[in-house]
Structure 1
Amino acid sequence: MVHWVSDSDGSDNFEWDSDGNGEQTVSFNAAGAGSSALAATNTDAPGPSTRVANGNGKAGRSASLVQKYVDMGFSEEIVLKAMKDNGDNGADSLVELLLTYQELGNDLKVDNDFASSCAPKTADDSDDDDTLEIWDDEDAGGRSTRVANSVDDSDDEDFLHEMSRKDEKVDSLVKMGFPEDEAALAITRCGPDASISVLVDSIYASQTAGDGYCGNLSDYEDNSYGGRSTGNKKKRKRYGGQAQGSRGPLDGSCDEPMPLPHPMVGFNLPDQWSRRVDRSLPAQAIGPPYFYYENVALAPKGVWTTISRFLYDIQPEFVDSKYFCAAARKRGYIHNLPLENRSPLLPIPPKTISEAFPRTKRWWPSWDPRRQFNCLQTCVSSAKLLERIRVALTNSSDPPPPRVQKYVLEECRKWNLAWVGLNKVAPLEPDEMEFLLGFPKDHTRGISRTERYRSLGNSFQVDTVAYHLSVLKDLFPQGMNVLSLFSGIGGAEVALHRLGIQMNTVISVEKSEVNRTILKSWWDQTQTGTLIEITDVQTLSSERIEAYIRRIGGFDLVIGGSPCNNLTGSNRHHRDGLEGEHSALFHHYFRILHAVKSIMERL
């Protein structure tokens, strides 16, 4: 396991977006023309996916579908085998297979040779079919006593388990806005073990290039950042104009970590002489609409390469906010904004602890060399820790021995503790974090301290983001329309406001009611434009996006970022990279950005 320098925004489980546990609608493909009488009466004919609809652990539609065929007179073992062998070939072939197996009766063989001779032939014969998922204990017990000796129980269990895993992935893709049939087809193409990243890329490749895309994504060999090579000479076109066949697995399984620059200064800084950065964007990435996506810099292996691939292979701009304020915050940004004529927010914020909080000078010991805080987190130290530090210092000489100094400094760096008295340290107050992050005073006031720390720890550093967005001021003198995804407490909106950019309309997508309240309160006090709030990103479908675009005339900026507690490299215990519950939000960002660009090009 790779150990990373800590850049975490907290290990607490802060929910940004939830898939929900409510009941979902299950869709099925209708039986094709010429269906037999049996198939015509079957309202649960298997299509691309017949998944369990409820999340309460009870048997769903897959179990009832099997029971329906059992009620028609077929034995359960024959139904299971027929479904497994039939795949996605529809109700007609399933019924024919059931009748064939019924006719064979005791002569039914379960070896692979028989299955291959009786099962309908397809271009890609696969057992990865969306048929069954969950059986309750009673069903499972009854089934085990009824299955004939000719059918192996373990095979059925493996089949059900495989279907369950596949259905979970189909559910995830559907909740991200992809059609159910395309999600199921992507899993058939790429295999049940393919990651969500691979499946998403496969769907977009299929939409753009046709369903011929079925390459083995595990065969590619990494050459360098931005390119892949393979022995297969055939290239398949992908979204973005490049060859999908030249791409490797998008879950990062074959990627080396993207090298991070040192120092982490981005393409340029405000106090530097303007240096020319040659950056050529692909045609489909050129704005407007402009887009801007932030993620923690120290992400798990392969994450940044994956994000870059999805966002037109644009090189990330890695910046540490310690060059803009008195706290470090290592972030990466992928955007299509111009790089010339950037300007910082004024007044320039202090860049050292003593400048930001002069009262700490009196108590700051000479053996504490810190001049800046580490990354601001979503939680703070306990009172017991502060007391242990005080006791350790009180019982030591002045200066304390090296072992005590080491202990105290480690805790101070970890928790961003400041000296507020003799032998006394304390965590930053929420209003001090607001100041360091570039928010107006009392921006988060009115909610609990715990919620304030949590919301601030997951926010943008306003001065850093504003420096990048400053190029928009001259481009949109009459104001702009913004689609703000996962808005949090409104870091992007505050940055644009402080730059003097009029926001005519902002459509904000944010799940947290606390964060929405903070943003709405600030908006009502400072803005004259229209704020439209959306609570669930999954409801922002292409149709809804098109309706908004027709209503307001299009979006000038699509801005967003992922929460830190899953993609940060230091969160070793709970991170899942781009497959995590929270970090799947990136795929929503790409889906929505793609929809915005496509619709605006069409209208």
Structure 2
Amino acid sequence: MAQDSTDWNTDDDLEFEIDNYKSSPPSSPLAATSSDEVFAQLIDMGFSPENIARAIEEHGPNADTMVIIDAISKYTVNSEPSSSKSKTIDHFLAMGFDEEKVIKAIHEHGEDNIEEIANALISSAVSDAAKAEISPTIKEEEDDIDWTESDDEKYAEFLSSDDEKVSDSPENGSKLRSLVDMGFSELEASLALERCGGNVSVGDLADFICAAQIAREFDEFHTEPEEHKPRFSAKKRRIESKRESRPSADDDPVRLPNPMIGFGVPNEPGLITQRSLPAIAHGPPYFYYENVALAPKGVWDTISRHLYDVLPEFVDSKYICAAARKRGYVHNLPISGRYQVQPPPKYTISEAFPLTKKWWPTWDKRTKLNCILTVNASAQLTNRIRLALEAHPGEPPEGTKKYVIDQCRKWNLVWVGKNKAAPLEPDEMETLLGFPRNHTRGGGMSRTERLKSLGNSFQVDTVAYHLSVLKPLFPFGINVLSLFTGIGGGEVALHRLQIPMKTVVSVEISLVNRNILKDFWEQTNQKGKLIEFADVQELSNEKIKELMKKFGGFDLVIGGSPCNNLAGGNRVSRSGLEGEQSCLFFEYCRILEVVRETTKEMRRS
């Protein structure tokens, strides 16, 4: 056998080495020379001897192994798979993973360990995204370029007060630890304790911190993307000039449509009934994935790339119901023949809450509420509004009007009495979001937990409008894989559409949320089978295949990452798809790919 110093000069030499390797492979790794080891490794990875020899001839016998692999991959990327190993490579390339990392993962874990390969690639993608950040400080500057330099000072002012200090009591130390465990920073928790005092509950402190985050970010909730006017400080101009020298696809955020009506909504013109999908994305099985529209830069490009290059459909639910909810939906559902669920949602605030008409001031022109949030306004704020209005028995001056309207819009306050503006109750949020009344009531869920779960849920009427096309396709029922289910928005949408659910396999980490779905399932007398998993890790590739063979496959894979790491009102942990919760998107991709591949196998057999 040739040594590392061998010169590969002629095609005859290459053919000799190929034939020699085939007829007399090394008996053990210790017996092989380093050049032969590389040759053997590449053979084991599924590459043809001819392409290996060609790559070694091109780059020399002493070239780095990954250089050789890269060259071979270029030769074979457009050819038919020649082995099960190259089929595995193509499998992960179709999911959008980097080719070099796919080959490396297959080499490390073996071609048959698809789940381990997927986990390695997902971990690598998350790690690369984290390493891509220059530093936390620079990242925040880049993400938030529309802030002025005084925003951080305003945020600190909102949280802290010089005349209110909290003693270092054991109780306060416990509250501080509880807030940190909930995901808030120690600085935020300390400032909240200073501002609110030590007598408030942990839930109220958490609400206060969330309110501070919303106040810091508020403009994003009710300003159309086209209306944003970046205001650059000198520091930000320097950052932007540096970024111009290193162009990236992430520098250009996805442009959101105005109006945000997707392929059409029931109450607006502009209906589209046909679109072109990449051939690989054609269903069934169908997939439907939701996330916040105003996500960090590059997020939607990544989501589309990992979901077969399907472009998102952006919809603001204010065009369907009485509350805004800017969301993007990546799906391969048909779009012709959509219809609105009955009874249709109330379209304006006055229709949704008719008892407020009596007290609604003529100068409050709102007809729609803003996005349903996970927190509510404090009693102190609503009392300040009452006092401000009572100071002017007649019509208040313009300054007072502006203050009151701004607060009402920010916190979704409605008028419940003379000069009395109040936040929405959880059951009112359920109505706005299309859930049955008392859907989240009971089951051990506190008011704060109800608000959080509702704020992170689907808007059922919007989702039902999109899913309505499934009814004629599945007249006898549908099998659903529901990922990161929350309080069951997808299931409620299918029920309201009267599409029988033969089987629902649900993945939801929150016990109270799982109980809510279970209660809904029983109270609506569903005839099908509900199977609940607490952790997505329980849904291994083999488990998915087992479930599919048992129930005849899945017709719909529906889900969405929790919004905590992506929402416009969350600057503290708005970390994009590498966030602790939103990185579950990659689990969605893994599971969807297994479902689609297993479906093909079941059809062939």
Q: Same fold (TM over 0.5)?
A: yes
- Aligned partners of 1:434 and 1:440 also within 8 Å: yes
TM-score (norm 1): 0.60
Q: Choose from 269, 277, 282 the match for 1:281.
A: 277
Counterpart of 2:260? 264
TM-score (norm 2): 0.60
Counterpart of 1:466? 464
Counterpart of 2:117? 179
Q: Choose from 415, 419, 434 the match for 1:419.
A: 415
Over aligned residues, Cα RMSD in angstroms? 3.0
SS at match of 1:396: coil
SS at match of 1:428: coil
Counterpart of 2:73? none
Counterpart of 1:123? 65
Rounded Cα–Cα distance in structure 2 between residues aligned with 1:181 and 1:407: 51
Give 1:572 shift. Answer: 2.3
Counterpart of 1:494? 492
Rounded Cα–Cα distance in structure 1 between residues aligned with 2:260 and 2:395: 34
SS at match of 2:571: coil
Counterpart of 2:172? none
Give 1:327 shift. Answer: 0.5
* 2:554 is equivalent to residue 555 of structure 1: yes
Rounded Cα–Cα distance in structure 2 between residues aligned with 1:185 and 1:331: 27
Q: Choose from 429, 436, 439 the match for 2:435.
A: 439
Share of identical aligned residues, percent? Answer: 60
- Aligned partners of 2:251 and 2:297 also within 8 Å: yes
- Aligned partners of 2:562 and 2:581 also within 8 Å: yes
- Aligned partners of 2:129 and 2:578 also within 8 Å: no
Counterpart of 2:146? none
Flag the 1:397–1:559 CA change in 2: closer, same or farther, 3 A: same
SS at match of 1:481: strand
Flag the 1:185–1:479 CA change in 2: closer, same or farther, 3 A: closer
Output one character per residue of 1:375-396: Cα deviation in whole Å (capped at 9) or x when no partner. Answer: 0011111111111111121123
Counterpart of 2:226? none
Rounded Cα–Cα distance in structure 2 between residues aligned with 1:283 and 1:180: 23
Matched residues, number: 388
- Aligned partners of 2:374 and 2:454 also within 8 Å: yes
Amino acid at match of 2:538: T
Output one character per residue of 1:115-171: Cα deviation in whole Å (capped at 9) or x when no partner. Answer: xxxxx984259xxxxxxxxxxxxxxxxxxxxxxxxxxxxxxxxxxxxxxxxxxxx9x
Flag the 1:181–1:351 CA change in 2: closer, same or farther, 3 A: closer
Flag the 1:601–1:325 CA change in 2: closer, same or farther, 3 A: same
SS at match of 2:289: strand
Counterpart of 1:364? 360
Q: Within 5 A, what are the aligned runs for 1:96-245? A: 122-124=64-66, 178-179=116-117, 182-183=120-121, 193=131
Amino acid at match of 2:529: T
- Aligned partners of 1:265 and 1:319 also within 8 Å: yes
- Aligned partners of 1:482 and 1:559 also within 8 Å: yes
Amino acid at match of 1:568: A
- Aligned partners of 1:252 and 1:302 also within 8 Å: no
Give 1:34 shift. Answer: 5.5
Output one character per residue of 1:525-564: Cα deviation in whole Å (capped at 9) or x when no partner. Answer: 1111100000001221111110111110100000001112
Amino acid at match of 2:458: F
Q: Choose from 378, 384, 387 the match for 1:382.
A: 378
- Aligned partners of 2:374 and 2:453 also within 8 Å: yes
Counterpart of 1:583? 582
Give 1:253 shift. Answer: 5.7
Structure 2: give runs of 5+ residues left out of the alignment: 1-26, 32-37, 39-61, 68-107, 109-113, 134-246
- Aligned partners of 1:255 and 1:305 also within 8 Å: no
Counterpart of 2:395? 399
SS at match of 1:575: coil
Amino acid at match of 1:123: T
Structure 1: give runs of 5+ residues left out of the alignment: 1-31, 37-88, 90-119, 126-169, 171-175, 196-250
Give 1:33 shift. Answer: 5.5
Counterpart of 2:296? 300
Identify which of structures 1 and 2 has the higher relative contact order when contacts are C-alpha pairs closer than 8 Å and 6+ apart. Answer: 1
Rounded Cα–Cα distance in structure 2 between residues aligned with 1:552 and 1:412: 49
Amino acid at match of 1:559: I
Flag the 1:254–1:438 CA change in 2: closer, same or farther, 3 A: closer
Amino acid at match of 1:543: E
Give 1:278 shift. Answer: 3.9
SS at match of 1:442: coil
SS at match of 1:471: helix
Amino acid at match of 1:584: C
Give 1:35 shift. Answer: 6.6
Flag the 1:336–1:510 CA change in 2: closer, same or farther, 3 A: same
